[in-house]
Amino acid sequence: MPNFKIEAITVSKSANFESCADKEHYFSQFSPLNISTYNLKARLGTISHEIIEKYLNNSKLKIDRKSVEKTFNEIVKEKKYDFDKEYLNRREGTEFIYRNLTVIKKLKAFIDENNFEISVEHDYGKTSPFYGKADIIFRTDQKSIVVDYKTGKIFNNENRLDDSINKQLLAYCFLELEEIGSNKDILAYVLNKSGDFVEIENCDKDYIYKYSERVKKLIDQINEKYTISDEKNFYCNECQTEWVGRISNS
């Protein structure tokens, strides 16, 4: 029987993993259910991300309601989502289109004010202890700006950026520094559904690398504690949450 080891944690689940591993919760491997349907909120979040991606990749798209609606319908058709034909004519559909239109306009203004190299859905490949795709990367010769687009709630009850979101961006910053070189400057923002850029906390190189070392140490502890049978994901039996690791045959 082959032995497997965890190499890295997906960025979007790094905070889940860190919290559960730190508290020594019980993990089990399982095969994730193949869920083909999503609730409306999740579908709209996916569509928003794809709308932004299409506009950043195609500067010729018109930034108006008609064009955004057309892009929405193309994505719905491509993904075979079941939407009411009158959805965009109702209040919630109109609000959805205008929210995306606002985000696109603010992004365009930000880009026009700066001379950036832009990368959308940037895949970092294999860089332990994290892996994943960043929504948007802006680069110059001197610095990088990592941007994660969120369509849901981003602040906690204390009106501070949610810790899991903050750590997700720190993980992306680590991957970006590993790719471009740690001598360059790094900034990270959450782009909210209003098109505002919210700066993350502790976006400092020393802190970023300390966080990556902490997660790496926790991965090593899990590898020592558990016998990993195959390349399935993990599930926390106490929090009832999934976290996803990249598993390799050692």
Predicted local distance difference test score (pLDDT) of residue 250: 61
Predicted local distance difference test score (pLDDT) of residue 154: 93
Per DSSP bridges, beta strands 130-131 and 4-10 are parallel
Tokens of 171: 């993980």
Q: Please check whether residue 243 is in contact with residue 212, taking contact to mean a CB–CB distance below 8 angstroms.
A: no
The closest of 225, 19, 216 to 127, measured between CA atoms, is 216
Tokens of 190: 């959450």
Does the pTM surpass 0.85? The reply is: yes
In a 13 Å sphere around the CA of 213, the CA atoms on its Cβ side amount to 6
Predicted local distance difference test score (pLDDT) of residue 247: 83
In a 13 Å sphere around the CA of 173, the CA atoms on its Cβ side amount to 30
Evaluate the CA torsion angle 150, 155, 160, 162 in order and state its sign. Answer: negative
**Amino acid letter for position 151:** T
Report how far residue 134's alpha carbon sits from residue 174's, in angstroms, rounded to the nearest whole number: 12
Phi, psi of 141 (to 5 degrees): -65, -25
Predicted local distance difference test score (pLDDT) of residue 1: 46
Q: Is 174 helix (H, G, I), strand (E, B) or coil?
A: helix
Tokens of 123: 């895949």
The closest of 145, 127, 148, 137 to 185, measured between CA atoms, is 145
Predicted local distance difference test score (pLDDT) of residue 37: 47
pLDDT < 70 regions, the chain: 1-2, 31-38, 250
Q: Please check whether residue 161 is in contact with residue 216, taking contact to mean a CB–CB distance below 8 angstroms.
A: no
Report how far residue 138's alpha carbon sits from residue 115's, in angstroms, rounded to the nearest whole number: 9
**Amino acid letter for position 211:** Y
In a 13 Å sphere around the CA of 235, the CA atoms on its Cβ side amount to 9
The closest of 43, 98, 41, 51 to 74, measured between CA atoms, is 51
Predicted local distance difference test score (pLDDT) of residue 32: 56
